[in-house]
């Protein structure tokens, strides 16, 4: 654990697409680290790529963060609104001789790259404009004057000490020809001015870190602590991508996953606390720190996520779960005006469902005006059971003890009176009420549907049998 005073972390997505699983885990680690240390979590949208950044992507990222419960303490800040600050910092480095204008064209740079590769050299910028003392001009970029000797050390909080030879680093562009800062420069200025103490991000940024440290030092800023977390791999141990399934956070919401399940799963992708698998949010905040983040890449396991989701659905407060599943029923075309009825449906089904989509689909028969009999269920609706069903409907209309316990006793009594086994009447009754051969307990279904609907469905099943007699 690192204690350097008031901790301040940030998540800084680029709004060029949806929030994907890897980005969500990075946001989660930053959020938990800040919460664990009693610090501050900042959200900053890095939208200086004007060609690719969109308002739609920004909204999608903010919606995903909100859905996951990763509430930010500051922001969202927008990097594009800070461009003048970045430009002033570029001018400062130019004045101090720590940066210079470069007029090498893209074509010239490509030729230099090809020549270097052909000669077995690293394809870094060769410093053509470094000492030409050029001024601003059309097409000119600004480059940082990187030290040509020495080493830059990254005391990484996850990977340990990493050393880079400065001679391997090139004079990176810090301001493009269009006047906008590059990523490596803008992120340093913004992190420094916002007081970010810990930069926690994916290890695909490791090679950016020495360049950024040199920029911090050139600008006279304190260097934050860095922690680079390993990437997430698909089951085939290649980098997680769409071919492995959904990678967008909101796609998991739409597939019926609960945010708590996704948060719990994501935090375990690369972090552990003993053998514990399931955590409350309070436990995550209490336990999380970077010293328990592994150095190896984590493998995304959809089955493990599904298992966790099933656990959370089963344990979820029924009222909250009902709020979460109602939109799925409405998307299926069902009106849900009576939330108390919907809560009873959810209570019947929550122990059986792995996703909210599955729960909503399983509850279809509760809301349907007409019961749809599954083909495999029709064998239970035979002329032989029609009389038993008719007797059930008749007896139910005058049955006083319409409770779960009373219903069970009632069914057994009717079976005895008609000299049949309970199972001979139970399965036809299940099909009459649900259209299925498997459902929650008959007592639960009958209580939730209510006496009136139960009697109506039994009589419709009798009519169906009569209409299909040969």
What is the full per-residue pLDDT of the chain (470 aa) written as tens digits?
Answer: 344 469 999 999 999 889 999 999 999 999 999 999 999 999 999 987 777 888 999 999 999 999 999 999 999 999 999 999 999 999 999 999 999 999 999 999 999 999 989 988 888 899 999 999 999 999 999 999 999 999 999 999 999 999 999 999 999 999 999 999 999 999 999 999 999 999 999 999 999 999 999 999 999 999 999 999 999 998 888 887 777 666 899 999 999 999 999 999 999 999 999 999 999 999 999 999 999 999 999 999 999 999 999 999 999 999 999 999 999 999 999 999 889 999 999 999 999 999 999 999 999 999 999 999 999 999 999 999 999 999 999 999 988 899 999 999 999 999 999 999 998 999 999 999 999 999 999 999 999 999 999 999 999 999 999 987 64
Q: Output the pLDDT for position 238.
A: 82
The pLDDT of residue 239 is 81
* Contact indicator for 385, 428 with CB cutoff of 8 Å: yes
Per-residue model confidence (pLDDT) at position 382: 94
CB 342 within 8 A of CB 326: yes
In Å, what is the CA distance from 458 to each residue of 317, 396, 426, 464? 32, 10, 12, 10
Half-sphere exposure of 116 (CA within 13 A, CB side): 13
Please tell me the pTM assigned to this model. Answer: 0.91
On the 0-12 / 13-18 / 19+ scale of CB atoms within 10 A, 244 is middle
Among 114, 242, 295, 379, the one annotated catalytic: 242
Sign, Cα dihedral of 433, 435, 437, 439: negative
- What was the pLDDT predicted at 201? 96
> Residue 4 has what pLDDT?
46
| Cα gap 113→122, rounded to integer Å | 8
Q: Dihedral through CA 39, CA 43, CA 44, CA 45, nearest 10?
A: 160
Contacts of 362 (CB under 8 A, 6+ apart): 349, 352, 353
**Burial category of 196 from C-beta neighbours within 10 Å (exposed 0-12, middle 13-18, buried 19 and up):** buried
Instruction: Give me 197's structure tokens.
Output: 């103490």
Partner residues linked to 285 by β-bridges: none
Q: Which of 266, 324, 219 is nearest to 21 (CA)?
A: 266
The whole-number pLDDT of residue 3 equals 45
Measured CA to CA, the distance from residue 44 to residue 74 in angstroms comes to 9
pLDDT of residue 120: 85
Give the Cα separation of 424 and 244 in Å (integer).
46
Measured CA to CA, the distance from residue 39 to residue 31 in angstroms comes to: 9
pLDDT at 245: 66
Closest among 359, 324, 352, 354 to 339, alpha carbons compared: 324
Q: Is the dihedral of CA 89, 208, 175, 73 positive or negative?
A: negative
What are the helix and strand counts (H, E) for the chain? 19, 12
Q: How far is CA 383 from the centre of its chain?
A: 52
Known catalytic residue at 242: yes
Cis omega before residue 395 (within 30°)?
Answer: no
Q: Tell me which residue has tokens 């040509």.
A: 148
The predicted structure's pLDDT at residue 469: 63
CB 408 within 8 A of CB 447: no
């Amino acid at each position: 654990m690192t204690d350097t005073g008031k901790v301040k972390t940030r998540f800084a997505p680029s709004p060029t697409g949806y929030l994907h699983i890897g980005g969500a885990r990075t946001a989660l680690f930053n959020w938990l680290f800040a919460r664990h240390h009693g610090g501050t979590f900042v959200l900053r949208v890095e939208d200086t790529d004007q060609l690719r950044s969109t308002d739609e992507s920004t909204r999608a990222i903010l919606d995903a963060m909100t859905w996951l419960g990763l509430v930010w303490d500051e922001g969202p800040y927008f990097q594009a609104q800070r461009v003048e600050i970045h430009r002033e910092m570029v001018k400062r480095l130019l004045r101090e001789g720590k940066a210079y204008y470069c007029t090498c064209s893209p074509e010239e740079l490509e030729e230099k790259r090809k020549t270097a590769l052909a000669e077995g050299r690293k394809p870094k910028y060769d410093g053509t404009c470094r000492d030409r003392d050029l001024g601003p001009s059309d097409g000119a970029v600004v480059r940082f004057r990187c030290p040509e000797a020495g080493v830059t050390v990254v005391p990484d909080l996850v990977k340990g000490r990493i050393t880079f030879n400065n001679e391997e680093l090139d004079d990176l562009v810090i301001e493009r020809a269009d006047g906008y800062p590059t990523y490596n420069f803008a992120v340093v200025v913004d992190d420094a001015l916002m007081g970010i103490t810990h930069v926690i991000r994916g290890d695909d940024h490791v090679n950016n870190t020495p360049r950024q440290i040199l920029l911090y030092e050139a600008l006279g800023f304190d260097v934050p602590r860095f922690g680079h977390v390993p990437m997430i791999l698909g089951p085939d141990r290649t980098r997680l991508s769409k071919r492995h399934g959904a990678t967008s956070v909101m796609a998991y919401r739409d597939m019926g996953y609960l945010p708590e399940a996704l948060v719990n799963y994501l935090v375990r992708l690369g972090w552990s606390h003993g053998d514990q698998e399931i955590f409350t949010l309070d436990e995550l905040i209490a336990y999380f720190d970077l010293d328990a983040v592994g150095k190896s890449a984590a493998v995304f396991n959809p089955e493990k996520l599904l298992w966790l989701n099933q656990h959370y659905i089963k344990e979820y407060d029924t009222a909250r779960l009902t709020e979460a599943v109602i939109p799925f029923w409405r998307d299926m075309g069902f009106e849900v005006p009576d939330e108390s009825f919907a809560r009873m449906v959810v209570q019947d089904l929550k122990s059986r469902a792995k996703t909210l989509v599955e729960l909503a689909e399983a509850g279809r028969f509760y809301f349907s005006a007409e019961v749809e009999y599954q083909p495999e269920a029709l064998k239970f609706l035979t002329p032989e059971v029609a009389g038993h069903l008719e007797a059930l409907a008749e007896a139910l209309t005058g049955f006083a003890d319409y409770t779960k316990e009373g219903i069970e006793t009632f069914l057994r009594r009717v079976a005895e009176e008609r000299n049949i086994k309970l199972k001979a009447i139970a399965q036809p009754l299940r099909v009459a009420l649900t259209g299925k051969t498997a459902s929650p307990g008959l007592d639960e279904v009958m209580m939730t549907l209510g006496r009136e609907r139960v009697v109506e469905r039994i009589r419709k099943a009798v009519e169906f049998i009569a209409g299909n007699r040969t």
